[in-house]
A and B are shown apart, each in its own frame.
Chain A
Amino acid sequence: MSAAFRLELRRGRMLVLWMGLVTVLYAGGITLFYPTILKNAAEFEKLLQVYPKELMAAFGIEGSLGDQGTFFNSYVFQFLWPLVAAIAAILLATRVAADADRGFLDLPLATPLPRLRYLAASIAGQAIAIAAISAVMIGSILAVDLVIEPNLETGRLILSGVHALAFGLAIAGVTTFLAVVFLDRGRAGGLMAGILIVMYLLNVIAQLSPDLATLARLSAFHYFNVKPLIDAGTYPLGDSLLYLGFGVVGWLLALAAFRRRDLTA
């Protein structure tokens, strides 16, 4: 294992720890409520009908909260994970820009370590950290499942974690490319955050009227729906591959750009 990769793992520890803690508290906590929701699903449905349609769309709530798919898709995968994944991916993927901001980038790159290997180590570190946070999220749900009734669909939740990972990697890949282009953490991270917010709003707006439905296709959030997977076991392979495609292409473009770009002081 190279020194650069070891350093990336070391640098990712605190982020994984804090993000993991957030996901454990939230995903584990919300899972504890699931039996209560399940027992009182009818009352909850009546309650939810009081809320505006826009709010339901914003939280991706469609169907009965008593369904595992609707519950976990709404409260964990479409609420917690996009926030956690976006924060983690942006912080991890803009490290190369942060290193440039702090003048650190010059130091490893003035050694025999090639630029490509430096960035590749960073990319590997991103992927591992996001995978770890995704695993912690699913693990916390499954851990709580050991003490609640009824039992959750373990295999389907694990596959949902894989899809969530693909979503996070897509953000990381595109952000890495932006970070390499700008070599400025603020600009790269801000732009990616802006893109995600716009996509989120597009996805919400698209659900408010059939005329606007096509807008959803422009949003990454549109393809992040694990309800069919949890409820019916239908893995969204195409959507996962789409995310992975964005991630991998983003990383490859980042590597190509980083290899050739000027590194100004």
Chain B
Amino acid sequence: MNQVIEAAGLTKWYGKRRGILDLDFDVQPGEVFGFLGPNGAGKTTTIRLLLGFLRPSGGHASVLGLDCWRQASQAHAGIAYAGSDPGYLGELTAGAQLDYLARLRGLAPGAWRTVAERLALDPDVPVKKLSRGNRQKVGVVQAFMGREPLLVMDEPTSGLDPLMQREFLALVAEARADGRTVFLSSHNLPEVERACDRVGIIRDGRLVEVSTVAGLLASHWRSVSLVLEVPPPVGMFDLPNVRVATSSARDVHLMVQGDVNPLLRRLATIEVRDVSITTLEMEDVFLRLYDGSTPEPDGEPAGDAGPAPDRGPAPERGSGVDRDAGAAEAGR
């Protein structure tokens, strides 16, 4: 077994409805792999194929060297899974449900306690009565309570408060430090940026990008809003990866692609009253990369007060090739 997860031509149709099409990717041992895409893109379908819940319509997927469909239960011995909306049994408290799942995974009852304490989960409340966020905690605790070599998580932080999201990221970092592999589906780009080594982007059922996080960051734009003490000198923002979207006296709205450090160095030379940097939503990145739209968090068109970014060629759809270098080029 060289790869923890391998998918080759993986395809799923639900009757005539598209699930995913011809996915090729792999996840290396010890890697945190982010799987990004908007709702309906095929993230959950991919995860369910990897877990052997769905039978592929075409292609093949293996986890830990085992066929995802034919050897699902053997493969599950090495997988810890958390879904986007963890299910529950009305009859069970969080602790009882976690104990039940621990026993099924060959873990000792109470194996979940340490993680539950970190996430401030009350184990004595029936899962049915927990809030959405607390129910999500049950899912996260369940994923991290064992020592399985592969963690598969489908939007595990939806509903978690920022404090718990941070704790989740710490748990992911610890798992990576332990040499475990993480497959993390999300449409929370900042979360993926912080947690993942590589990302795959799926859209309309096709894998349109597999890249390192650095590569992805280089390919998308951030919005930087400045309030300056005095109007900026001419040429202040003349940087290769910076475009002035709007500028009126002391208020400046910039678009920055990739590395923000050159801009920050420039800003250190002038008096800045306020600054905000907004990471674009996943959908905006998709618009930028694939639809040719300019990412404008406030919805205003770019180019009124500055040159529109040169978008460059869109990545080839469905190629599924690793684009570490290509991602950095995309949009330039």
Identify the A interface with B (CB < 8 A): 3-4, 7, 10-11, 14, 99, 102-115, 260, 262-265
Task: Find B86's partner among A103, A108, A109 (CB 8 Å cutoff).
Answer: A103
Which of B48, B74, B87, B152 neighbours the largest number of chain A CB atoms within 10 Å of its CB?
A: B87
Q: How many A-B residue pairs have CB under 8 A?
A: 79
Task: Find A11's partner among B88, B91, B104 (CB 8 Å cutoff).
Answer: B91
The answer to whether B87 and A263 touch across the interface, beta carbons within 8 angstroms, is no
Closest to B55 in A: A262
The answer to whether A260 and B55 touch across the interface, beta carbons within 8 angstroms, is yes
Q: A4-B104, A11-B91, A110-B76 are in contact. List 10 more A-B contacts (CB 8 A).
A: A102-B87, A102-B89, A106-B53, A110-B51, A110-B152, A112-B106, A113-B104, A262-B53, A263-B53, A264-B53
Per the bound structure, the CA–CA distance linking A108 and B72 in Å amounts to: 13
Closest 4 CB pairs of A and B: A103-B87, A104-B87, A3-B103, A110-B81
The answer to whether B53 and A7 touch across the interface, beta carbons within 8 angstroms, is no
Task: Find A107's partner among B77, B87, B90 (CB 8 Å cutoff).
Answer: B87
Q: Which residues of chain B have C-beta atoms less than 8 A from A11's C-beta?
A: 89, 91
Q: Which residues of chain B have C-beta atoms less than 8 A from A262's C-beta?
A: 14, 53-55
Closest to A104 in B: B87
Per the bound structure, the CA–CA distance linking A86 and B100 in Å amounts to: 29
The answer to whether B73 and A115 touch across the interface, beta carbons within 8 angstroms, is yes
Q: Report, as a range, how many residues of chain B touch the other chain.
A: 20 to 34
Interface residues of B in 74-117 (CB under 8 A from A): 74, 76-77, 79, 81, 83, 85-91, 97, 100-101, 103-106
The answer to whether B73 and A112 touch across the interface, beta carbons within 8 angstroms, is yes
What are 5 A-B contacts defined by CB distance under 8 Å? A104-B89, A115-B72, A260-B55, A262-B14, A263-B54
Closest to A261 in B: B55
Closest to A3 in B: B103
The answer to whether A112 and B76 touch across the interface, beta carbons within 8 angstroms, is yes
Per the bound structure, the CA–CA distance linking A104 and B128 in Å amounts to: 11
Closest to A13 in B: B91
The answer to whether B76 and A104 touch across the interface, beta carbons within 8 angstroms, is no
Per the bound structure, the CA–CA distance linking A106 and B53 in Å amounts to: 8
Closest to A111 in B: B104
Q: Which residues of chain B have C-beta atoms less than 8 A from A110's C-beta?
A: 51, 76, 79, 81, 152
Per the bound structure, the CA–CA distance linking A99 and B127 in Å amounts to: 14
Q: Which residues of chain B have C-beta atoms less than 8 A from A115's C-beta?
A: 72-73
Task: Find B105's partner among A14, A102, A111 (CB 8 Å cutoff).
Answer: A111
The answer to whether A264 and B14 touch across the interface, beta carbons within 8 angstroms, is yes
Per the bound structure, the CA–CA distance linking A110 and B86 in Å amounts to: 12
Q: Which residues of chain B have C-beta atoms less than 8 A from A263's C-beta?
A: 48, 53-54
The answer to whether B53 and A113 touch across the interface, beta carbons within 8 angstroms, is no
Per the bound structure, the CA–CA distance linking A114 and B77 in Å amounts to: 11
Residue B219 interfacial (CB < 8 Å): no
Per the bound structure, the CA–CA distance linking A110 and B83 in Å amounts to: 10
How far, in Å, is B185 (CB) from chain A's closest CB?
12
Per the bound structure, the CA–CA distance linking A194 and B72 in Å amounts to: 36
Q: Which residues of chain B have C-beta atoms less than 8 A from A3's C-beta?
A: 100, 103-104
Per the bound structure, the CA–CA distance linking A103 and B73 in Å amounts to: 19
How far, in Å, is A117 (CB) from chain B's closest CB?
9
Given A108-B101, A111-B76: A264 touches B54 (CB 8 Å cut-off): yes
Closest to B127 in A: A104
The answer to whether A107 and B101 touch across the interface, beta carbons within 8 angstroms, is yes
Residue B142 interfacial (CB < 8 Å): yes
Q: Which residues of chain A have C-beta atoms less than 8 A from B14's C-beta?
A: 262, 264
Given A263-B48, A263-B53: A106 touches B83 (CB 8 Å cut-off): yes
Interface residues of B in 127-142 (CB under 8 A from A): 142
Residue B186 interfacial (CB < 8 Å): no
